[in-house]
């Protein structure tokens, strides 16, 4: 169709394989490993909201880790936001990740001795972006966005599970990255809180953030515009819009 707008691809995995090696071989024993991914091709357009589903051990979390640059492929290429991650050093990846990726984990992973505001400011502090006053203002704005504008002085233990995950989302968005990743982001929340969390993710996606998340819950997967199904290290299903 001529004249149709083409949305650029922001995430692309091409021919990706990932093998995790076992403990070192002894004597003449052959070194063996577990193949987590086997020839994965995946393209995500900027602004999409994609759910990755599959049974335990299927490789879905490995895909998230590759997109985040936390892990590297054994074979194939990983290109995110124009950068070839498989060609970057750990130092380069650390800088790139801070500017490009926000990650929300299942277990929140907040710093227990820091307040909600301090947790939400932490990525800005680590990246040394702006003056201290500006960082605090940015963090306060993100806390207000997730409904915790009046809870910034609370420690994680003083917050409910849902509130802690809201802080984790505010922290993930601290540097306003173009991509937000979630690894079972609602795994520790009840159904009502999980729905609230996905409302926040939907809101971020509506403002242009590309969202890719792993979930075992088909109902929550159904909230995405696209569902990618993974089994035995391969993509076995891909429904919804694709770039």
pLDDT tens for 100-140 read 999 988 777 899 999 999 999 998 887 777 788 898 899 99
Q: What is the pLDDT, as a whole number, of residue 1?
A: 45
Which are the contacts of 129, defined by CB distance < 8 A and separation ≥ 6?
135, 175
What is the distance between the alpha carbons of residues 122 and 136, in angstroms, rounded to a whole number?
10
Residue 27 lies in a domain: no
Q: What is the pLDDT, as a whole number, of residue 157?
A: 94
- Identify which has the larger pLDDT, 189 or 151: 151
What is the distance between the alpha carbons of residues 242 and 235, in angstroms, rounded to a whole number?
14
Q: Count other C-beta atoms under 10 Å from residue 241's C-beta.
A: 11
- In the chain, % of residues over pLDDT 90: 56
DSSP line for 6-33 = -PPEEEEEEEEEEEEE-SPP-TTPPP-E
Q: What is the pLDDT, as a whole number, of residue 192?
A: 80
Residue 175 lies in a domain: yes
- pTM for the structure as a whole: 0.86
Across 175-202, average pLDDT: 85
Q: What is the pLDDT, as a whole number, of residue 189?
A: 76
| Torsion from C-alpha of 123, 136, 81, 5, nearest 10 degrees | 160
Which are the contacts of 194, defined by CB distance < 8 A and separation ≥ 6?
186, 217, 220
- CATH code of the domain in which 76 resides: 3.40.50.300
Across 146-151, average pLDDT: 89
Across 2-8, average pLDDT: 65
Residue 62 lies in a domain: yes
* pLDDT tops 90 at residue 187: no
Q: Per-residue confidence at 242, pLDDT binned at 50, 70, 90?
A: low
Q: What is the pLDDT, as a whole number, of residue 61?
A: 92
**Which structural domain range is residue 191 located in?**
9-22+32-239
Q: Per-residue confidence at 152, pLDDT binned at 50, 70, 90?
A: very high
- DSSP category for residue 136: H
What's the chain's average pLDDT? Answer: 88
Residue 190 lies in a domain: yes
Residue 83 lies in a domain: yes
* pLDDT tops 60 at residue 58: yes
Residue 2 lies in a domain: no
Number of domains in the chain: 1
What is the distance between the alpha carbons of residues 209 and 81, in angstroms, rounded to a whole number?
12
Residue 4 lies in a domain: no
- The beta strands (E) that lie in the chain are given as 9-21, 33-45, 49-53, 75-80, 83-84, 101-105, 179-183, 210-214, 226-231, 234-239
Q: What is the pLDDT, as a whole number, of residue 45?
A: 96
Residue 1 lies in a domain: no
Residues 168 and 105 sit within 8 Å (Cβ to Cβ): yes
What is the distance between the alpha carbons of residues 80 and 107, in angstroms, rounded to a whole number?
25
* pLDDT tops 50 at residue 48: yes
* pLDDT tops 80 at residue 208: yes
């Amino acid at each position: 169709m001529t004249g149709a707008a083409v949305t650029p691809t922001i995430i692309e995995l091409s021919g990706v394989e990932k093998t995790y090696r076992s403990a070192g071989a002894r004597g003449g024993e052959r070194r063996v490993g577990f193949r987590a991914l086997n020839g994965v091709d995946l393209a995500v357009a900027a602004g999409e909201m994609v759910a990755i589903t599959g049974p335990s051990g299927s490789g879905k979390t490995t895909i998230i880790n590759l997109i985040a640059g936390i892990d590297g492929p054994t074979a194939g290429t990983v290109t995110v936001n124009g950068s070839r991650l498989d060609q970057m050093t750990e130092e380069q990846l650390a800088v790139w990740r801070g500017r490009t990726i926000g990650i929300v984990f299942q277990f929140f992973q907040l710093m227990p001795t820091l307040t909600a505001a301090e947790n939400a400011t932490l990525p800005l502090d680590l990246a040394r972006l702006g003056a201290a006053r500006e960082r605090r203002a940015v963090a306060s704005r993100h806390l207000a966005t997730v409904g915790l504008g009046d809870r910034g002085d609370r420690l994680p233990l003083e917050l409910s599970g849902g509130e802690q995950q809201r802080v984790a989302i505010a922290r993930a968005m601290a540097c306003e990255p173009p991509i937000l990743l979630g690894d079972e982001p609602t795994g520790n929340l009840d159904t009502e809180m999980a729905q609230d969390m996905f409302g926040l993710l939907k809101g971020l996606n509506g403002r242009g953030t590309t969202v890719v998340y792993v979930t075992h819950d088909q109902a929550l997967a159904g909230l995405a515009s696209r569902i990618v199904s993974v089994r035995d290290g391969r993509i076995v299903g891909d429904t919804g819009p694709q770039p």
